Structures are given as structure tokens and as C-alpha cells.
Structure 1
Amino acid sequence: MALSNTAQNILQYESTIWSTADLLRGCGIKESEWPSYMMPFFALVMIESRLIRMFDDLKTELGEDTFNGIEPNDLIELIQDKGQGYNVYIFEKHQTLKDICQNDKSFDVDFDAYLKGYDGETKDLLGVDAFEGEKFLDIKGVIAKLKAKKVLFSYVTAWSSIDLKPFDNSAITTLEEHIKRRWADISAETAGEQYTPDDVIALIAEIIASKIEDSGRLLKIYDCTCGGGNLLFGVEDRIKEKVNRLTQTYGQDWNDALYALAKIEGRFRVDSKIEHGNTLTDDKFFADEFDVVVANPPYGVDWKGFQKDIQNDKTQRFQHLPAVSDGQLLFMQHLISKMNATGMGVVVHNGSTLFSGDAGSGESNIRKWMLDNDLVEAVIQLPTDEFFNTNIYTYLWVLNKQKPDERKDRVMLINASEKFKPLKKNKGSKRKEIDEANRLEIVDTLGKWADNDYARVFDKEFFYFNKQAIMLTNVDEQGRTFADRLKDGKKSRSLKPVKLDNGERTLTEFTILEPPENPPPDSTPLIKGGRGDLSEYFTDDIKPFVSSLDYKEQPLVVTTEKAQYSFDADQETLIKEVLGKREALGCGKIVVKSAFKKKTKTKPESIVITVELTPDYQKDYEIIPYHRDPDENRAAIEAFMAKYITKPFEYLENVVGVEINFNKVFYQPEQLRSVEEILDEISTLDKELRELEQSLSL
């Protein structure tokens, strides 16, 4: 969107503000730490300019004679009623930051009095008196560091030259967004962690504004991870430009410094409430619902530190829990819980919220819950290289609790990955922007609700799938299975072996009552020579040996009094051999187990080795398209199995999953060249090569 003249004029201070970092660079402070040094002083000049502007407006409102006749205490009370803070030092001594920087001799005393002149809330947000606990902008800590480097006076003087008094709140907010963006360029861990680019904010606002009608009703807007407030306040400002509505903003954030910036900004807006704390465990607006929710929650951040709080949450916000490694879908569920009966929202996520987690996982179940309840109107894929600290694809989830009838139980996917204009100069990882023309095209596409070359509308069940689990019974080369040899109800056949031989070692004792006098030379038990502890012999010799047996890879032969049993890997069948005659029993397994039995009143301690023959079962699953009607869905599963599964099987559990796959929908296969075209190119290259050889031979 085009900037107003006022906003353009205030941006002249962007370079001035950034030049204050020259002192930081000069005294060895790392660039990644600059935001923590700049934030409190930027907040300071913003607060001072707005307080002086408010002071002057009050003088104009009351008239100079009336104003001059007001007692100082009454004046402070009038200013306090505004709810925007105050500074006794400024109002009583009529001195600003610039004034106290005129005298380096008295600077330390004056600057301390200046900071302490602020009201309690402002001092808390700035961190003027912070010792332990929440320090917010921690100006006290920053001052101590700058003093130690002997640059405090110079640094404050540089900031005091920035005069924002001529500009209104909207213009100052514009400057603040630009400064936060610069911080985002250099510090992913502080200011930039939650920063949303202006063009994405504008697109979100356009989407919301397209669904809101002019009315006198108050519009309540909420951001549960508001950071410094740029998304929340940016959306509010742009909506008010498009729609005639009164607005009220609500935000919460856990980051001390970002919360303080948002809180300070919110105090100079008509009706804004910003709170500090972890939204997921301490919702400060637990009793509120909102018309509009927006958020750009952190990507891939684990919630292990407060896992128990989430698991024990009593608010019923969280229908399902995602993997502890990524809390994005926790924020999504929280936001949905905050939407009123006609509420809508736009939430920024990375791709993991679309497809992470298998059917039955927390992530898949959350997506299914959202679609089951028809909360998703659209998902929009944004271009790569859109954000300052990452070049990945990001996505806008458009939520709507009051979808028009023609959109009910349907979802639109918009592939806006090519809807951008390259930046003339990169801003960190940001190389692209969604310019106004492309923003309006995306919003128009959402409004028309019709397929085009980059947008498709689907019944919500398109994103569902069956994950049908089955138990396969493996067969040998002749299609036989050992299961056919078992009597009804039997799952295996126990053998009574007298010898077990794997070609390397032979066992002939199947109930061992004590360790051998002389352990086998190919074994390495801890007990060597003489009798010892039977449990150690089991742990260190028998159990490892039995666990290592592989009836397929080793020539494992089990001998009973009547027969020998083995597995023929070439035919994939069990073999029974009696007096040299071999009989194929079908595909199956030879299962050898060992157990240590403790001493009882009637039996001594012992090692027991057992052998049994079992069918070769294999658990598997098939991914099958989903149908809304249960009978049709079951028929589709059975038809799929009849077509693709040739082995005997039993149905196990069927789990319905949900995944939103942009690549599947918008995949464009590479166009292969024709054989004729390739042959023509080869012929041309061959001709050029011959001509080159001729020229070299001359």
C-alpha cells in the first residue's frame, strides 16, 4: 500500500535511528545484540514524543489561560486519566531527553531523575527499576553495560536528536514497523522471531476486510502471539482504511521485550489491551471471544517445558495434542476457541501444519477436527523468501465459523507461490514481496470461489484418507502357509527338541539347572570353569545366543525324537525331514525363546528353552481414498483390497487421516521433449562438431 506523505516524511528518521548503532559497533557489541540495546531507547523516544504531543493537545483543548491556571497535581491527574502514562520530570521541569543531554556534567543525575519521573507502568515496561524477574525492555541493564563501555552519554545524545513530536500515532507506528523489520534482519532470536512482513500483513488485512461489512458494531481483533504488535496493529489500521468499523485490539505475548513494545504502542491507541504471559498455559483473555483472530505463531518450537500444563488443561481448548516438538497446532486450536459464533481468522504457519503426523497422530486428528467442524475456508501457499529469517514456503489458514452456504464443507487451495514481485534489494532472507496487484488478485480469487490455474475448490473429504491396517499371512513359492497346518484356534505348534544347531553352536539341554563345568569353547560367559551363578550364565551366554538365532539366514536345525525341522530360504517354506524324506509345511517361522525361572518351593531355579513353529504373519497398511458415506467407504476399501492384495489377510483397525498436500494438487510435470526434437539437436551438434574439427585441421 502507498504510504501517506506524513508516513513518508517520518521514514527519514529510519537511517538516523539506525545510525545510533554506530556507537554499539564501535565499542565491540555484536550486531545480533543491537536490538536489545536499541529497543528501550526507541521506546523512550516514542513515549516522550507522544506524551509531549498529548500535553500540547490538552493545552489546546482547554485553552492556554485555563491550562496555565491548573494546579500541577490536577494536571497530572488529567494526564493520568488519558491512560497513556506520564512523566513528572517532563511536565514539571519542562525538560526533555534532548534538554538533559545539553549538560554532560549533570547528565547522570538528570537522566536518572528523568527515568524515575515516569509513571509506574511505564517504568516497569522500560525496566527502569528491574532487579529480578520480568525486566521487559531492561533499560537499567542496558544503561549499566553502556556505562561500563563509557558510551552512555554519547548514545543517549544520539537518540535525543530524534524528534517524533510532529507525527501522529499512525506515522510513528509506520516507523516502528520499519525499525522492527531492520531488527528482524539481524536477530532471529529476538525482535525478528515473530516479525511478519508488511506485504503479508496487508494481504491478511485485505482477506479479512473482504468479509466484513460496514456497520456500527465493534470489531474485536485478537492476536495470541502478538510479539511487538506489528501484525495486530497493522491489520487493525488497514481494516479501518477499508471498512468503516470501530475496532478494539487484544494481544498477548510471552517475550518480555516484545510484549513491552506492544503494550507501549497499545496505550496510544483508542482501545487496546495487551497482556504478558504464555497464551497456552495462562490465557489472559479466558472469558473473551473475538470477531477476528490473527497470528504468526513460532514455527517448530517445542512445548516440552510446559507439557504437563497442556495435558492437564481444563479449558477444553485442545481437542488433540500435536508432537511435543512443534506447538503450532496448539496455537491454532487456541485461536479457534477464541472465535465467537460468527468469527473468522487468518493464521500464518509453515508447511508442517498441513501434513506432519500420520493418520491417528495428534496433528492429523487436529486437521480432521477442523475439517469435521467446517472451520477451514481456504489455505493459501505464499511464495518462498517472503520472511526475513527463513526462505521456506509459508501458508495462510483462512478460518471462518460462518461460511456461506455454497462454501460449507468445502475448502479452497490457492497456490500463490508465484504471486510476487522481486525486491530490488534483499532484506535478510526476504527476496520477494506480494505487491498490491497480486494481493488484490488473491483476494478476488478467494471471493469468486471458482477453480482457475492456481486455485482449486474441493469437498473437504478430498483431504481425508483411510489408513487400513491388515494382517497379511505370508505364503511360500507354492502359495502355502503353515497356518493351514494348524488346528482350529491354534496359533502355533510347540516342538520338543533334543538338539538345536545353528552350524556354529549346538544346544542339547533344554532345561538347564546349573552352568556347565566347562563352558562351550565358542561361548564367552562370565563364568569360566567351575560352577557359578545360573542367572549370570543366562544373561551373558544363553539369552544373547538365542536372541541372535535367525532361522532364515542361518542353517538352523531343530531336532526332535521323530524329525528335524528347518527353513528353506529358496522356497520360503518350513521343512520337516523324517528319515531323509523332506516335507514342505508352508511359509512360517521357527521361534526360539529362552527364559530364566526363579526358584520356587517345589522347583529349583532353571533356564528353559522352547521352540515353536508359527505362521509368518506380517502387519501392513494400505492408504485408500476416503468416501463420506460409510457404506461407500467400506465398499471402496474392499474393492481396493480385492484388486491389489493377493495374500491371505485379515482386516485390522482403519484410521482416517487428514493431509493437505499442495504438491499433489498443483504438481506440474516437466514437459519432455519429443524424440524428433532431440534427434534434430543431436544432428545440429554433430554438424557443428565436424565443422570445428575441419577448422582445427587447417
Structure 2
Amino acid sequence: MSDTTPKNLANEIWQVADLLRGDYKRADYGKVILPFAVLRRLECVLEPTREAVLKAQERWQAKGVSPEPFLPKEAGYAFYNRTAHTLASIAGAHEDARADLHRYVRGFSENARLVFDKFRFAEQIDHLAEVKLLHLVLSKFADFDLHPSVVSNHEMGYAFEELIRKFAEESNETAGEHFTPREVIKLMVNLLLAPDMEEIKVPNMSRSVYDPACGTGGMLSAAEEFVLQHNPQGNVYVFGQELNPESWAICRSDMMIKNHYAENIKLGNSFSEDLLAERKFDYMLSNPPFGVEWKKVKKAVEDERDNLGYRGRFGAGTPRINDGSLLFLQHMISKMKPVHEGGSRLAIVFNGSPLFTGAAGSGESEIRRWILENDWLEAIVALPDQLFYNTGISTYFWILTNRKDPAHKGKVMLIDARDYCVKMRKSLGDKRKQISDEQIDEITRLYGEALTAASDPEHELHGKVKVFRNRDFGYQRITVERPLKLRFEVTEETLDEICESKPIARAFGDIEQFVSAFKPLVGQQWSTKAEAWDAIRRALVKSGLLWPSGSSFAKALRDVVGVRCPEGEVQTKKGEPEPDPDLRDFENVPLDEDIAAYMEREVLPHVPDAWVDHDKIKIGYEIPFTRHFYVYEPPRPLVAIDAELKLLELEIQQLIGKVAK
């Protein structure tokens, strides 16, 4: 392989798909390519110590002692292989390649075998043998040089992510569930960790990092690299949980190669089966899938919410069923260390929905309220659109901490980084833009100087930052009522409505008799209910009918006889004006503003008879990011538009003239 850049490496490996075409569906290519790529990588990593492992195995077996406890030391890793097989030797032998490959995989230590079990690799081996492709695939992968001296762990991780992306494309799956662009990860790690640089540089310091939707482990690796780059003597312990078996297998194998404790990478749903329930972490970061419903874990989540409240993870509330993004954030908050133990910082990627979705009192609003009232939200950073492979929508970093420094307490920074990008020469899916290293450095600097930039109008980046108090995002959702005003009349349509009214039919039984009593009133109108009721009573008595008791009849009668009218009579209930549901309106009043003053200024000048139903006031929180950075652009002058149209007309006439000739 002449060019081992991660993208080219992934493309070369993916060319194995040419061998599979016809015998495999496109959606199944990855089921072969991914486990073989992992197998070849593990083989290359273990190659320098293979002979030492085999000799140690023979030595301990000769003594009648199980060799397993001693082989990791000989291998130099927490995993090993006890056979003399390689992909090349199996491909070149005349014996049964299927049986040899099965023996080779079973020869790995249990922690590595588990990776291949999750790939369901044995099934793929058997199928390849049945369609007579096993030797071809073995030979192809044996030729890939994936030794660490040729392909670093960083490059291999990137290549695996590219393979996952290709697999997702072929399967019509959501690549965003697996893969976050590396430059986005780098920026995210910078903003998460850079404020703690002094602590990170302390000799022999130890930090834990967690990702509840870790995919192939790209974010965990980037966080570890950042820390070790600034403190080679530091210790970083990574933890993660992943739902997708293929992504989990790649992440786990990567952790084994790096000599991390691979058992810290768990397979399962973080919501219904938190396999790191008792752990707290120094740093957390994640890119959970956008807009993915959580219906499968609805019962587990709601049971925890209802039974444990704030002692569990979801006490603040639950979002709508079609987007579980805020559940991930609550899950991560639950794993923050107490402040007296050093506290935690976390960063998460969201689309725009969690900023504002949900009215006051909804699950989303209550979650935002809980976060802001606890002063955990440090900043929101708006990113350029078209950064991700599976969506072109705008995305945001939310950065939270429970140990804000004094300058940030009670404040939230909004940072507009939407213009920090460059166009890609060739798009990848929906990804048409990327953030350059220089732009990452500039955004990181902007984040560090945000408070200064926001307070100094002369600062070059002043327009990119806004700083607000936590309470500035809160509002009072008030219900503005207006009185129900009616006039009263009987028409032919009224008689039809009476026939269809079930409460009136129940009151009289013989609805036809009631309608007959009403017919003489057709065409009459009354300005007050008292006048209308008096006329209707007289008509009923004249027909030998009595006025039924009960409020349901009176309400039903008013519904068919009453007509809304701005100059009509105000209807009352228990001595108070009755609100008209059709005129009901809602207003969002800033949290610190007096409701009466707001009504006096904004509502009563237009509708003097309006009032607020104080029993229905709700507190809500939303973060209208784009509104705060909106800059009005006046429309172009008509003269300029007219001149441009005339130029276009002239060009069209010239083109038509050329065609005519």
C-alpha cells in the first residue's frame, strides 16, 4: 500500500467488496470487511511477540500449568493468540481454510474472541467457504500492512470509522449514529479540556473520560491524546457504552491494542441498562444520534423517572418520544462527580431542537429549567452547517460543568462559530464543509476570551459572543383570557343543531316536540340571555313543555342559540366573566418582568377587557440562539433591482440574436 492515509487505507480495504459482489448483498459487505480488518490489525499488532507467546505456552504446558495467566506478559498486550496461524499461512495452505480460520479465531484470548462473537464472524467464515470466496478474501486481507509502525493507532481508528461510514451508507443506515468527523471531535475536546490546562499538566495526574454513545471510540481516543500531548506522564482512563455491536467490537479492539482495560467499554443501551451505573467521571463527551426515538426503552425510562425522581437520572422530565437527545444529557449529568471530589465537565453535540422544543411545562422545557437553575450550562457553541455525513442541519455544542469558576457563575456564553469553516473539494454524503486546524485554534481562543469579548465592544470578536444570566432564558407562560360575548337568535340552522344536540335530546326525549315548540321563534333575536331564555320558556309552556333542570341543558341550549358578537352581552360564571376559548391567547413574559406591567404595556392597549388566568401560569425555559445573533439586512433598493433586471433582459436579447443568426 503506497498511501496509508486513513481515507485511502479505508478505500483500499473496502475494495474487498468487489470480491463479494453477487454473493453478498451490498448491505452485508461490512459484515465481512469489518471483522477481517480487525483480525488483520490484531495479527499485525501481535506479530513481534508471536514466537515468544508460543514458546511460553509450550513451556508452561510442559510443566502441567495452564499458560493463560502468563501469556499477556509475553504478548505485551492484554490479549494474545495461542496458535501459529496467520491469515497468510491459512490462505497459502492446501488444507481446509475454513477449519484453520475457525481454529485461529478460537486461539485468541477470551477478551478478543468476544469481539469476533459480536461480529458473528463464525457465520461469515462459513458462508464465505460455501460460496468459495474464503481463500480470495483471506489472501486480500493478508496483503494489507496494518502494523503499528506503518499505521498508527490514530490512523487506524480513523480508517475504521471511515469503514463504518461506508457500511452505513451501503446499509442505508444513519452514519451519524456511528461517526463524528475528526475535526469536530478535535474542536469539542479542545473546548472541553482547554479550560483545565493547568490541572491537566500536573505531573502524574489521573483523569477519567466517558462517552455513553461511544461508537468506535473516536471521542475517547481524541480526549486521551489531548491530555497525553500536554502531559506525557498523565494517566487517562477511558470508559464507554455502545449499542451497536460492530462499533462496540471495533472500539473494544482499539482499547485492547492501546493496552487499556477493555472491560470499561460496555455493550448495551445506556438508558435501559446502564452498565457503569456506579461510576462518576472527570470528563464526558458524546455525539448521540439526532432525532432518534426512544420508544423501545420508554417503560424503563419512565419507571425510573416516576419511581426514583431526582435520585435517578430522569427526575427533571422526559422529552417527546421521537427525540432522546436530552435523555443522553441527563444521563451524563448523573455521572458528574460531586464538587467536593473535583466536579466534572461535559460536552455533547445536539441539533437545534433541544434549544427550544417544548412549551412551558413540557419535558424539554423542564429539563432546560433544571440545568439552568442549577447553573450547570457554561456555553453553547453554534457550528457551521453541513459538517456531518448524514445531515446538513446546524449543530451545537452544549458544554456543562458543576464547577464553574467565579467569573462564569450564573452566566451562559453563546458563541457563534457558524462562519468558521472551509468548503470541501469533494463532499462526503451531506458533509460539504470542514473546520481547519487554524479555525479550531481560533474558536478555542474565542472560547477562552468569550467573557472579555462580550464585555468589550472594541474587541475583534465582540459580535461572535453573547453572555446572558441563567434567568434570561426563563419566561412566564401566561394565559390571556377575554370575555365570552354573545347575542342570541333562532334560525333554521338553529333547529338543525337542536336535532343533533345529545344533551337536549336527553332532557326532552321527544326532540321533535321540542323543535316544534321552537319553530315560532325562528327569525327572532335578543341582545341578552335573560331575554332569550324568557322567550324560549314562554314558547315551551305554550307547547305544554317544562324547562328541564340541570346545567348541561342550559349550556347546550346556549351553544345553539348564542352567537359570538363583539358587541354582545358578557357571559358570566359564578359572578365572574366567562372566558371565550376562541379568543384565548398566550404570552411569554420574561421571568424578571412583572406580569401586570407587561399586560399594561403590551396587551391592554389593544384589548382592554383582557385578563390573566393566574392559575395557569407556567415557568418555561428556552434558548433562542439564532434570535440573539440575528442582524437585520434591509432589502435591496428597487432602483438596483430594476437595473439588474434590465441588464439581464439585454443579455437575453443578445443571446437570442446569436441563436437567430
TM-score class, shorter-chain normalisation, is 0.7 to 0.9
Deviates more, 1:175-184 or 1:142-151: 175-184
Contact kept? 2:19, 2:137, Cα under 8 Å:
yes
CA distance in structure 2 between the aligned counterparts of 1:633 and 1:654, rounded to whole angstroms: 10
Amino acid at match of 1:611: L
Decide which of 442, 454, 466 is 2:464's aligned counterpart: 454
Contact kept? 2:348, 2:399, Cα under 8 Å:
yes
Cα gap change, 1:594/1:306 in structure 2, threshold over 3 Å: closer, same or farther?
farther
Cα gap change, 1:684/1:13 in structure 2, threshold over 3 Å: closer, same or farther?
closer
Cα gap change, 1:100/1:594 in structure 2, threshold over 3 Å: closer, same or farther?
farther
Amino acid at match of 1:208: L
What's the counterpart of residue 219 of structure 1? 207
CA distance in structure 2 between the aligned counterparts of 1:291 and 1:557, rounded to whole angstroms: 80
Question: Which residues in structure 2 correspond to 1:96-115 (within 5 Å)?
Answer: 96-115=86-105
Residue 252 of structure 1, CA deviation: 0.6
Residue 409 of structure 1, CA deviation: 1.6
Decide which of 22, 30, 34 is 1:35's aligned counterpart: 30
Contact kept? 2:211, 2:285, Cα under 8 Å:
yes
Cα gap change, 1:513/1:178 in structure 2, threshold over 3 Å: closer, same or farther?
closer
What's the counterpart of residue 247 of structure 1? 236
Higher helix share: 2
Over the matched positions of the two proteins, sequence identity in percent amounts to 26
Residue 610 of structure 1, CA deviation: 5.9
Cα gap change, 1:579/1:153 in structure 2, threshold over 3 Å: closer, same or farther?
closer
Decide which of 328, 332, 348 is 1:331's aligned counterpart: 328
Contact kept? 2:192, 2:399, Cα under 8 Å:
no
Higher strand share: 1
SS of the residue 1:210 aligns to: helix
CA distance in structure 2 between the aligned counterparts of 1:694 and 1:303, rounded to whole angstroms: 63
Contact kept? 1:500, 1:506, Cα under 8 Å:
no
CA distance in structure 2 between the aligned counterparts of 1:7 and 1:235, rounded to whole angstroms: 27
CA distance in structure 1 between the aligned counterparts of 2:61 and 2:657, rounded to whole angstroms: 104
CA distance in structure 1 between the aligned counterparts of 2:555 and 2:372, rounded to whole angstroms: 54
Contact kept? 1:624, 1:637, Cα under 8 Å:
no
Cα gap change, 1:185/1:425 in structure 2, threshold over 3 Å: closer, same or farther?
farther
Contact kept? 1:367, 1:658, Cα under 8 Å:
yes
Amino acid at match of 1:200: V
CA RMSD of aligned residues (A): 4.3
Amino acid at match of 2:482: L
Question: Which residues in structure 2 correspond to 1:127-276 (within 5 Å)?
Answer: 127=117, 136-167=118-149, 169-187=153-171, 189=173, 193-212=177-196, 213=198, 214-215=201-202, 216-244=204-232, 245-272=234-261, 273-276=264-267
Q: Calculate the TM-score normalised by the size of structure 2.
A: 0.78
Decide which of 293, 304, 308 is 1:302's aligned counterpart: 293
CA distance in structure 1 between the aligned counterparts of 2:147 and 2:658, rounded to whole angstroms: 77
What's the counterpart of residue 88 of structure 1? 82
Contact kept? 2:165, 2:178, Cα under 8 Å:
no
Contact kept? 1:7, 1:171, Cα under 8 Å:
no
CA distance in structure 2 between the aligned counterparts of 1:34 and 1:254, rounded to whole angstroms: 20
Aligned residues: 596
What's the counterpart of residue 626 of structure 1? 590
SS of the residue 2:391 aligns to: coil
Q: Does 1:46 align with 2:41?
A: yes
Decide which of 6, 17, 22 is 1:21's aligned counterpart: 17
Contact kept? 1:304, 1:324, Cα under 8 Å:
yes
Q: Deviations over 1:93-133 (max 9, x none)?
A: x3311111102443222222212212233223212xxxxxx
CA distance in structure 2 between the aligned counterparts of 1:264 and 1:692, rounded to whole angstroms: 64
Residue 141 of structure 1, CA deviation: 2.3
Q: Does 1:663 align with 2:626?
A: yes
CA distance in structure 2 between the aligned counterparts of 1:254 and 1:386, rounded to whole angstroms: 24
Residue 300 of structure 1, CA deviation: 1.6
Deviates more, 1:27-36 or 1:654-663: 27-36
Q: Calculate the TM-score normalised by the size of structure 1.
A: 0.75
Question: Which residues in structure 2 correspond to 1:526-675 (within 5 Å)?
Answer: 559=518, 576=531, 611-612=557-558, 614=571, 617-619=579-581, 620-628=584-592, 632=594, 635-636=597-598, 639-652=601-614, 653-675=616-638
CA distance in structure 2 between the aligned counterparts of 1:394 and 1:663, rounded to whole angstroms: 12
Structure 2: where are the runs of 5+ without partners?
A: 455-461, 536-546, 563-570, 573-577
Q: Deviations over 1:291-334 (max 9, x none)?
A: 10001112222222221211121352112111122111111001
Cα gap change, 1:104/1:566 in structure 2, threshold over 3 Å: closer, same or farther?
farther
CA distance in structure 1 between the aligned counterparts of 2:401 and 2:188, rounded to whole angstroms: 14
Contact kept? 1:222, 1:294, Cα under 8 Å:
yes
Cα gap change, 1:262/1:696 in structure 2, threshold over 3 Å: closer, same or farther?
closer
Residue 369 of structure 1, CA deviation: 0.9
Contact kept? 1:379, 1:397, Cα under 8 Å:
yes
CA distance in structure 2 between the aligned counterparts of 1:194 and 1:443, rounded to whole angstroms: 25
What's the counterpart of residue 130 of structure 1? none
What's the counterpart of residue 413 of structure 2? 412
What's the counterpart of residue 542 of structure 2? none
Cα gap change, 1:322/1:692 in structure 2, threshold over 3 Å: closer, same or farther?
closer
Question: Which residues in structure 2 correspond to 1:349-498 (within 5 Å)?
Answer: 349-449=350-450, 450-451=453-454, 452-475=462-485
